[in-house]
Structure 1
Amino acid sequence: MSNVQDTTQKDIDAHALHAEVQYKNFSDLAGKVVFITGAGSGIGRAMADAFAVNGARLALLDINAELLNKAQQELQQTWPGIEVETVVASITDDVAVENAVAAAQARFGRIDVLLNNAGISMNKPTLELAAADWRRAIDINLNGAFYCAQSAARRMIAQGSGVILNTASMYGTVAAPERAAYCSSKAAVVMLTKVLAVEWAPSGLRVNALAPGYVQTALTDELVRTGRMDFDALIARTPARRLGKTHEIATLALFLASDSAAYINGQAIVADGGWSAYSYI
């Protein structure tokens, strides 16, 4: 089995990310207030960099205080003068979520974009899936997404505009064995996205979902290390013959949050290197 490259220094490469997005026109995002959950690592951390490149003001939430503080320090070092508010909280706590969003609104005066990114993986044979594991996946991936969307939307509807991007998964659109809790929770996020999109569009909101395939993060590295993921088989199965990069998902979020995507609403945008299109086994 091949080893996935170490992501401790590759997870976020601010200079590579800047090179990726600097030629794209997302100037309408400058000054926007962007609330990101799961912002301490992985895709959420890449999102923070991507929106920072484009002059956004950031409110970052994560359950890991150490990662969150590191993210804030690195962002402020890379882009001096950037406004960054942080809060340590669990998205499964609806009261903590409401307090965090209220604090961001108090600091910045509004909430323009919610990147509803926090979530967990759950890869276990279904007959061995404990009830506690099932509840944990649903509580974080689905309930947490709902609490954050509801809290942010209260502010967005009052101001007459806003964008919510829920991080789902390609496994919210296609099935796989030993992922009953994960697939179910992410499929529910896709349907939640559609419901909120049609309900809140008349109030000036857009709600879409990002549905990444396999993206190289510390989480995928851990799955390979513990033998829960066969890296060689995974690459062979992916038409692009590689994993996705966190900045590629972050750049997709930039587009969907921008005015360039003003007529895209209620969609789950899959970015999986062709995985779900490839039906040959």
Structure 2
Amino acid sequence: MTNTMSAEVLARLAQGKSFLDLAHKAVFITGAGSGIGRAMALAFAANGARLALLDINPLSLEQARGELLALFPGIAVQTYAAPVNDEQAVQDAVAGAAAAFGGIDILLNNAGISMNQPTLELTGADWRRAMDINVNGVFYCAQAVARHMVGQAHGVILNISSMYGVVAAPERAAYCTSKAAVAMLTKVMAIEWGRLGLRVNAIAPGYVKTDLVDELVKAGRMNVEALARRTPLGRLGEPQEIAALALFLASEHASFINGHVVVADGGWSAYSYI
């Protein structure tokens, strides 16, 4: 299959950055109830997209839906309370969203968990939980959505990896391994599905101010001040900054970017000195 850009599209892109092409697109977001997922929902809603939100927490989902409707009256929002590591639940949610919107144009495959433990103390149960959610969950969602996208001959999938899928850190064996797997899975999907009209990329955030970070701080497993000092930009990232990157990668402006893992970490992984 050969994909060509029309003169009209090329001319519009040359006029400068905009995300007008995202208006009315059907966007499926996992882990949408909080953090980066919620920020992405707000960003895509602001650009006129229709949203299908999936999260394991029904209360967070309803709060996100209420916020979206308050800010963007009349926006189309579907919600699905399900864990991403439940393959059948994922397939049902994706089928429901595809039926409601007449297809799915974009998947923001964001749901995941942290796992910060000394390797000698890491239990088999915790290892399997990290792999089940961070790897299996990403696979189930991507595969289910891609099966609908292939019929449309177009679609964009953005998987959320981590800078710790690119560089390593102590006491994160399960987390680093799972996020590295997401990065490689992204590349395999991009190679297979590119000729079918799909683009698949990954975003690899560094330390971002989310509930996951808050939980580690409260547990005494993370020092925010030390992390900010270690980051060349001198601060943690904001969820909205990752959402802005997702907008770009999902838009026509990234039409030739496929199979790439885009790191957004304030320079952390570029800086080898401790």
Q: Please indicate the TM-score interval, normalised by the length of the shorter structure.
A: over 0.9
Among 66, 74, 85, the residue aligned to 1:81: 74
Aligned to 1:5: none
- One-letter amino acid matched to 1:95: Q
Q: Name the counterpart of 1:102.
A: 95
TM-score, structure 1 as length reference: 0.91
Cα distance per residue 1:126-168 (max 9 Å; x no partner): 0000000000000000000000000000000011000000000
Distance 1:186 1:144 in 2: 12
Contact 2:17 2:253 in 1 (8 A): no
Q: Could you list the runs of 5+ residues in structure 1 that have no partner in the other structure?
A: 1-22
**Displacement of 1:246 after TM fit?**
0.3
Structure 2 residue aligned with 1:160: 153
Paired with 1:279 and 1:154, the residues of 2 have a C-alpha distance of 41
The letter of the residue matching 1:149 is A
> Which runs of 5 or more structure 2 residues have no equivalent in the other structure?
1-15
Give the Cα–Cα distance (whole angstroms) in 2 for the partners of residues 208 and 218 of structure 1. 24
- Displacement of 1:218 after TM fit? 1.8
Counterpart among 256, 259, 262 of residue 255 in structure 2: 262
Residue 109 of structure 2 is matched in structure 1 by 116
1:276 counterpart letter in structure 2: S
Partners of 2:39 and 2:240 within 8 A in 1: yes
Name 1:3's counterpart in structure 2.
Answer: none
Q: C-alpha offsets along residues 6-35 of structure 1, whole Å, 9 cap, x if unaligned?
A: xxxxxxxxxxxxxxxxx9510000000000
Q: Following superposition, which runs of at least 4 residues in structure 1 exceed 3 angstroms of deviation?
A: none
| 2:118 aligned residue (122, 125, 129) | 125
SS of 1:276's partner is: helix
**Identity of aligned pairs, percent?**
69
Deviations 1:29-65 (A, max 9, x none): 0000000000000000000000000000000000000
Post-superposition Cα deviations, 1:190-249, rounded to whole Å, max 9, x if no partner, equal 000000000000000000000000000122122112210012211111001000000000
Counterpart of 1:60 in 2: which secondary structure? strand
Distance 1:225 1:159 in 2: 46
Query: What whole-Å deviation, never above 9, does each CA across 1:153-187 have from its counterpart, x for those lacking one?
Result: 00000110000000000000000000000000000
Tell me how many residue pairs correspond in the alignment.
Answer: 259
What is the TM-score normalised by the length of structure 2? 0.94
Q: Distance in 1 between matches of 2:195 and 2:224?
A: 45
CA root-mean-square deviation: 0.8
